[in-house]
Amino acid sequence: MERPEFYFSIGDIETTTPWRRPTLSAVNDWWKEFKKELRSDDLEIWLCGSFMEKTLGVYNRFPNDLDVVFVGDPKDEARLKELLDKAMSIGFKHRILVDAFWSSDVMFPHHKEFEPYATIRNGRGYSKMVGGDIVQQHYQADEVFTLSKGLFQFVYYNPSHTYNKVQEKLQNGEYVGVLLKASEFFD
């Protein structure tokens, strides 16, 4: 069997179709499809990161992904897993990488003083292969818990890589701190 030129997997989600950098058109198409999956009692969905900073802020580089943060009480782990998986798989359909996760504090990377927070993801890490080069990365945290339904909780008591990266970009003037509810951005 021939190896694909591209392969990516996280949890139960995988693709052999390489993604492109997110564009407003591709992200809009993703949202139109993804919002059909939502129910009125689902978690809040927020957008942040380099795509939002490029679109509404001052970021002058090319974003690699769309950061989608679910916020609220994750009462139903099966539903959270379904939403995280759908967000990513619909992103792959539109050839964009959607970095979807739940967070206990949507503002965690923007606080001037670090405050502990937790995230939940649909995988312990990911595997990516491009042209035979394989990258495997496990998400790092101060504590990691295996939840039900294939979810993993990452707890940060100390500044995380993401927190430090965002703080550096804020201090360098690359980011202004764009963070919007998805419904306000799209609808």
8, β-bridge pairs? 15, 128
Determine the longest span between alpha carbons in the chain, in angstroms.
Answer: 52
* pLDDT 10s digits, 99-122: 999 999 999 888 889 999 999 999
Distance CA 111, CA 34 (A): 29
* pLDDT 10s digits, 57-112: 899 999 999 999 999 999 899 999 999 999 999 999 999 999 999 999 999 888 88
Contact 59/178 with Cβ under 8 angstroms? no
Q: Quick check: 173 pLDDT over 60?
A: yes
Give the pLDDT of residue 2: 67
162 CB neighbour count, 10 Å cutoff: 17
pTM of the model: 0.95
Q: Quick check: 1 pLDDT over 60?
A: no
Contact 52/180 with Cβ under 8 angstroms? yes
Average pLDDT of the chain is 95
Q: Quick check: 37 pLDDT over 80?
A: yes
Q: How confident is the model at residue 52 (pLDDT cuts 50, 70, 90)?
A: very high
* pLDDT 10s digits, 148-166: 999 999 999 999 999 999 9
Angle subtended at Cα 22 by Cα 19 and Cα 28, rounded to the nearest 5 degrees: 115
CA-based R_g, the chain, Å: 16
